[in-house]
Structure 1
Amino acid sequence: MDWFYTFPHMNDEALRNLKKVIDDGFRGFTREWGGTIETFFSPLQHFLISAERFMTQTPWPIIILIIMAIAWFASRSIKIVFGCLITLLLIGYFDMWTDTMRTISMIFVCTVLSIAIGLPLGIAMSRSDRFQRIVNPVLDVMQTMPSFVYLIPVVMLLGIGKVPGLIAVVIYAIPPMIRLTDLGIRLVDKDVLEAADAFGSSGWQKLFKVQLPLALPTIMAGINQTIMMALAMVVVASMIGVQGLGQPVLKAIANQYFTLGIFNGLAIVGIAIIFDRISQAYGKRLQKHQEVAHG
């Protein structure tokens, strides 16, 4: 009756051999192609370093004014602009300014990269049901896989540093961008598309002048979710050398520094609220604009 209580499994030696073959194969691939892959990602490293340099070396009043201007442009809300000002002043007052600027630069680069990759993939999914059926299971795996697991292959390929952390964050954060781009385009009213066809619009004209503008509020929701997931990954990415608010949190966990962890955790929450309110308000403004235009 042992078989009833012990699940039938592969022979231990065979399982060990299989794992060894896969591990050796990946190590061989890393040795062979690691340098090439690193060179391929060097422009990304320069972009990240430039963004970080701008955020950390620009005087703090200018950074606050830029963020307030973006908040006003996106929301047209004095409350949101004032909330951004208070949050940033508190972050600076509690001596977390430099780490916060590093985190914001990382989130900015992650978001740009996620949009650059996610938007074309979402458009391709919306235009092909077969492609959607192929990509959806991949996105399911990306969303459900524990975030720590992404660090293993990335670190093996690229070592410890900013770029491996950035790639791990993008892999974790990109699925909402792809899914909501696909959904937004698929939700565009069929009557509007028929009208565009009646006016003799080409496929590209229909995409850029009808579908994408109408799908923009949903795409903005995807960008919002991508930013939130990237911020959630900040502490995990700090384990492989990503500088910012995650490293003090990691230090606080290792050394049981309660206040250090709480203060930096609250700074991450503050940034998350700023990004969330700005992107949501912009999405709502776009939606109202669309309703007025087509109402």
Structure 2
Amino acid sequence: MIRDYNLRKRVMVTGGAGFLGSHLIDRLLERGDEVLCVDNFFTGAKDNIQHQLANPHFEVIRHDINNPLFVEVDEIYNLACPASPIHYQHDPVQTTKTSVHGSINMLGLAKRVGAKIFQASTSEVYGDPDVHPQTEDYWGNVNPIGPRSCYDEGKRCAETLFFDYHRQHRLRIKVARIFNTYGPRMHPADGRVVSNFIMQALRNEPITLYGDGLQTRSFCYVDDLVSGFIALMDSADEVTGPINLGNPGEFTIRELAEKVVTLTDSKSELVFKPLPQDDPKQRRPDIGRAQSQLGWQPSVPLEEGLKRTIDYFRTFA
């Protein structure tokens, strides 16, 4: 429970130096919370939180959540886990451990101190879906032994743990299933489609598409997603999720590439390579639950979000 003698809420963000975590921290500090950033800096970057280091209500701990952590907090946002295929496949065993052992440690902390806890789950729990768009009631079509399984199945197991802690220990939980998100502070070499296309276009290099480029994705700008995080965390205790957070606007990968080329005034040409194993053909969220239970929906159009993201990436090109 929040202490009566401190008006500021104490919020911990694991993975706080990452792309999503750093934007979330900015928003929490802006609204007046005390924020503890926990990160082992495997994929997170100090540059993402540098501008907050002088803030007296901000603190950073270098820590891997695979090890227990003993702190006093009111809320926990558990965002710690590599999220791009290049990073989570670098050490797949560690990726699974972060989702499973890390979740157990954070759930144990939440149980000890009575904190409310948020899990950053993923649309990858749906795998290569047979249902389109994906609703939260869909159980997914996931390969349990493929190269993406460390992330997909790790996140599925984390959801299991969260709901078992909720049922067994009455823990207050919030589970968000995050769809493709983009924006400033993405790692320029994280291997995800938006960052790949923008960097290749800015350098006038060939833009790499896999398969025929007709597979679809939905892209949510980071500011919209963070608003969804906070709306879910602040919702009534009975709203546990899982709740899809993403933009239901659907584009083919080829359409995205062509839009990036136009916005960057690039001379890049499109090149096609074989589709990686287990790469989903369609990915689009049904956000009806987020709209009805949180009053949330994204508002930043893809073109506007891409312009902001391109401006950020120009410094790396």
TM-score tier, shorter chain, comes to under 0.3
TM-score by length of 1: 0.27
Higher-RCO chain (CA-CA 8 Å, sequence separation at least 6): 1
TM-score (normalised: structure 2):
0.26
Bigger Cα Rg: 1
Which is strand-richer, 1 or 2? Answer: 2
Give the helix-richer structure, 1 or 2.
1
